[in-house]
Amino acid sequence: MKKNYKEVSIDPTTQQMYERAQEMGIETVWERLEKQQPQCGYGLLGICCRNCMMGPCRINPFGGEPKRGVCGADADTIVARNLLRMIAAGAAAHSDHGRHVALTLLIAAEMAEKFKKEGKPVLELDNMASNTLPYQVRDVEKLKAVAKRLGIETEGRTIREIAKEVAEVALNDFGKQDEEAIAFLKAYLNPKTYEVFEKAGEKAGMPWFENGILPRSIDREIVESLHRTHIGTDHDPVSILLHGLKTSLGDAWGGSLIATELQDILFGTPQVIKAEANLGVLKEDYVNIVVHGHEPVLSEKIVEAAQDPELIELAQKYGAKGINVVGMCCTGLEVLMRHGIPIAGNFLQQEMAIVTGAVEAMVVDVQCIMPATVDVARCFHTKIIDTSPIATFPGAIHIKFDERRADEIAKEIVKTAVENFPNRSKQRVEIPKEKMEGYVGFSVEAILKHFGGTLKPIEDAIIEGKIKGVAGLVGCNNPKVKQDHNHIKIANELMKRDVLLVGTGCWATAAMKYGIFLPEYADTENVGPGLREFAKEWGIPPALNMGSCVDCTRILVLADMVARDLNVPIHALPVVGSAPEAMTEKAVSIGTYFVASGITTHLGVVPPVLGGPKVVKILTHDLYDIVGAAFIVEPDPYKAAKKMYDHIMKKRKELGI
Amino acid sequence: MSTDSKPTIFINPAKCIGCRHCEIACAVEHSQSKDLFSAIFEDPLPLPRIHILPMGAYNVPMNCRHCDGAPCVEVCPTGALYHDEQGAVMLAEDKCIGCKMCAIVCPFGIPEFDALNGVMFKCDMCPDRRAEGREPACVEACKTGALQFGTIDEIVSKVRKEKAEQIVKLKEGEVEEEYNGWDLYRSMQTVVIRINEGDSK
């Protein structure tokens, strides 16, 4: 069925490429969604259980039989179990990413040690780098700051020694077996919120959660999630969901936090920089390489290799002016934040980028990469190159990554792309013109630097009421929602009400495409007078790009700092979260860890929980009593913004401001 | 008043949650093996005779209505279509010439063409099951009550009784808002559809 291009997206480049795909008979995500209709209601409501072979079982949502699965599980047990498995999968994805970064830091430190012993040049104190090492500590200051938080001695030690120990503490958090909370959580979380976590079991009427929802080990909580949801184990929706909070906190203050902090150490902490976004960043005369996925461990090296004079010369030999690396999804945001590499788009534009006919290679790592990219690429000369040993795409070229040979492999990948340039059919190239500039790179460190080493100006503006509160907008596109529509509407509705926005992931890319990351945006009618004044006073856009979806931890660290300054738990702050177009299991984990950490969070896409009335009540109501925050589910962006604003105002009132 | 003893399959779109289990059960029932795990390896693959159509926030099961004065039976030039003793509209494949006249006259778009065999195929209300006194496969597969099997009198009197109960409860103020996850989901889906279609205030 032919769909109107205006129904699928508000982005003009997506509209243009979607029409082009239709004309060319190329199937895209929207046709596939259409072909999936109707989607199974048991799945949509979360009342389908496939956890054992007595099943699959499903519960009649209209109250009649069957009311229970073969084992006797009712709708609420089934819904809670399914949700816990989603949280576990999301936490696993983020955390495995974090583990990869920690291992890379360890490999870097160990390689430096080996080089030192072999008498090869390794700088001693300022850096552990030599030109022959693939990875180095780019941000020594951050390394020392993280080490200090973790209680690791830095005085009189070499960078490689400190880096090794930081990596070891991080890796220990994944697999330790004691009952203590993970080291990174203890190092980063304020005592008042820590206490909330500790007492969550008691508050939920389950005192056998002795340490509440404090995660003991990142991997263990994920494994325990699978154990609890195995047939015949945990059946109480309350305890199942409590463990869900715990697992998500292992992601928040563990896996994801490790990913962000250690990436900053290895690749540099983002600083404010101007860059461009949307499909218009593809260049007609250049070899275009799209780096797509989530882990910057490889894409950092691709960016480097693309600057190799020999490869640029090769590109010129084939008639290109040079090599143009652009990003997609969160890998795109990683290199955008750190190097100002332009970002071509968010999740729903991955196929659209290929439809331009101008992409020589799409280099993919992990998460949110549609296997369909391979099929779309078959219609053009584009090569999909998969690089992660854990993510293989049938029909793609496999150039698997190895940190120890990072430079060599990155060059091979870039060379493959360059050599594909002559295969491009020039008559079949159509690159949309639209692109937008914006300021990015608002890491916590960059924000502190901008405000003179303190968050006091933001806090004062909140207390004064110039800014009513802060909203963390995150996550995903979902073809069930018109692309970017809810992202932008909710952002505008909140900014109109003087709510400062911080955001990550596909929301951040959406916001950037619409100019929200330009300081000038504060002059538009979409920004309220208080926020406008504040933004102008400090020379910032009314919304700050804090990075990829794994970087949601930057939002948590920021909230933690404000909570410390005001001496309250995070849940007392006038702060809300929202995933307006949520799609992934990672988004479920993020939403859950926001809520568990005390940030009431809106979901714009209904998660598969409505089949369990008790679960719905716990998630949207009871959690206020347990962790001080809960979920708001609302598909209408206007109503959603209103509800979020009301929550902010409620929190202001409680704080007496 | 005469009673109609002929059974039929009633549909209730308000209760259809789009799981499409009926489609699978129908195809399996019309396979050679009548077993799911074998049916998916058969050549030709068995086809379903019932289809779930998404209509906005609703799903509508579309199956043969087995009309009393069935236009398909009347128009069939070879007599391939006929009513069996229970009133079900049946299709004799050996008589079918694939002229598709039945598809042309059907008010519901039910008869389909099997290109492989050059004949039409449609819902037969599972004659083997009916002979054993069992419900058709699609009805048995439906766990929400969106599909019901019975005579018109049975169904109507059941609905009449339910409505009467509701009226009494309404009068006595006993009607409680019962939690219904599907209705809640559907109301939210209606919002999404409205927004996607361009109502963005």
Q: Do A62 and B179 touch (CB under 8 A)?
A: no
Profile chain A (657 residues) by mean pLDDT over runs of 10 residues: 84 97 97 93 95 95 91 98 98 97 94 81 54 82 97 93 96 97 98 98 97 98 98 98 98 98 97 98 98 95 96 97 97 97 98 98 98 98 97 97 92 98 96 98 98 97 97 96 97 98 98 98 98 97 98 98 97 98 98 98 96 96 98 97 98 96
Question: Does this model's pTM top 0.90?
Answer: yes
The DSSP code sequence of B52-94 is EEEETTEEEEE-----TT-HHHHH-TTS-EEE-TTS-EEE-TT
Does residue B33 form part of some domain? yes
Q: Tell me what pLDDT residue A129 has.
A: 53
**One-letter amino acid identity for A486?**
N
**Which residues in chain B touch residue A75, judged by CB atoms under 8 angstroms apart?**
181
Q: Do B185 and A6 touch (CB under 8 A)?
A: no
Judge if ipTM > 0.90.
no
A41, A58, A486 ranked by CB distance to B18: nearest: A41
The highest-level CATH class for domain A76-262 is mainly alpha
Q: Tell me what pLDDT residue A3 has.
A: 77
Q: Tell me what pLDDT residue B19 has.
A: 93
Nearest CA among A23, A21, A91, A606 for reference residue A372:
A21
Q: Tell me what pLDDT residue A297 has.
A: 92
Instruction: Please answer whether residues A299 and A335 qualify as being in contact, where contact means their C-beta atoms are separated by less than 8 angstroms.
Output: yes
pLDDT at B5 over 90: no
- CATH number of the structural domain spanning residue B78: 3.30.70.20
**Which residues in chain A touch residue B191, judged by CB atoms under 8 angstroms apart?**
635-636
CA distance B198 to B201: 9
Domain boundaries, chain A: 5-73, 76-262, 279-428, 441-655
Q: Tell me what pLDDT residue A260 has.
A: 98
Q: Tell me what pLDDT residue B199 has.
A: 65
The DSSP code sequence of A305-323 is HTT-HHHHHHHHHTT-S-E
Cα A436 to Cα A92, A189, A289, A512: the distances in Å are 34, 37, 19, 7
**Which residues in chain A touch residue B197, judged by CB atoms under 8 angstroms apart?**
7
- Closest residue on chain A to B51 (Cα): A38
**One-letter amino acid identity for A218?**
I
Does residue B182 form part of some domain? no
Q: Do B185 and A45 touch (CB under 8 A)?
A: yes
Does residue B166 form part of some domain? no
Does residue B198 form part of some domain? no
Q: Tell me what pLDDT residue B175 has.
A: 63
Query: How many structural domains comprise chain B?
Result: 1
Which residue bears the tokens 């072999």? A118
- Closest residue on chain A to B55 (Cα): A38
Q: Tell me what pLDDT residue B200 has.
A: 54
A38, A62, A485 ranked by CB distance to B54: nearest: A38
Q: Do B15 and A41 touch (CB under 8 A)?
A: no
For the ranges A138-142, A508-512, B153-157, B178-182, the one whose mean pLDDT is highest? A508-512
- Closest residue on chain B to A39 (Cα): B18
Among A62, A492, A631, most B C-beta atoms within 10 A, so best to mutate, is A62
Q: Tell me what pLDDT residue B6 has.
A: 87
Same fold, A76-262 and A279-428: no
Q: Print the domain residue range for B47.
A: 7-151
Q: Tens digits of per-residue pLDDT, B46-81?
A: 999 999 999 988 999 999 999 999 999 999 999 999
A7, A606, A612 ranked by CB distance to B185: nearest: A606
Interface of A with B (CB under 8 A): 6-7, 37-45, 47, 58, 60-66, 75, 480-482, 485-486, 489, 606, 610-613, 616, 633, 635-638
* A424: its two tokens: 């491009």
The highest-level CATH class for domain A279-428 is alpha beta
Q: Tens digits of per-residue pLDDT, B23-45?
A: 999 999 999 999 888 888 888 88
Nearest CA of chain B to the CA of A10: how many Å? 10
Q: Do A40 and B181 touch (CB under 8 A)?
A: no
Does residue B88 form part of some domain? yes
- Closest residue on chain A to B142 (Cα): A60
Q: Do A60 and B144 touch (CB under 8 A)?
A: yes
Does A329 show up as a binding residue in the annotation? no
Q: Tell me what pLDDT residue B75 has.
A: 97
Does residue B109 form part of some domain? yes
Cβ-based neighbours of B25, under 8 Å, separated by 6 or more: B137, B138, B140, B141
CA distance A5 to A23: 12
Does residue B183 form part of some domain? no
Predicted confidence band of residue B1 (pLDDT cuts 50, 70, 90) = very low
- Burial (CB < 10 A; 0-12, 13-18, 19+), residue A525, is exposed
B20, B191, B196 ranked by CB distance to A636: nearest: B191
Does A552 show up as a binding residue in the annotation? no
CA distance A233 to A47: 18
Q: Do B179 and A60 touch (CB under 8 A)?
A: no
Out of A329-333, B8-12, B99-103, least confident range = B8-12
A40, A45, A486 ranked by CB distance to B20: nearest: A40
| E strand or H helix that includes residue A78 | helix A75-117
Tell me the CATH architecture of domain A441-655.
3-Layer(aba) Sandwich (3.40)
A6, A37, A63 ranked by CB distance to B54: nearest: A37
| E strand or H helix that includes residue A439 | strand A436-440
Does residue B81 form part of some domain? yes
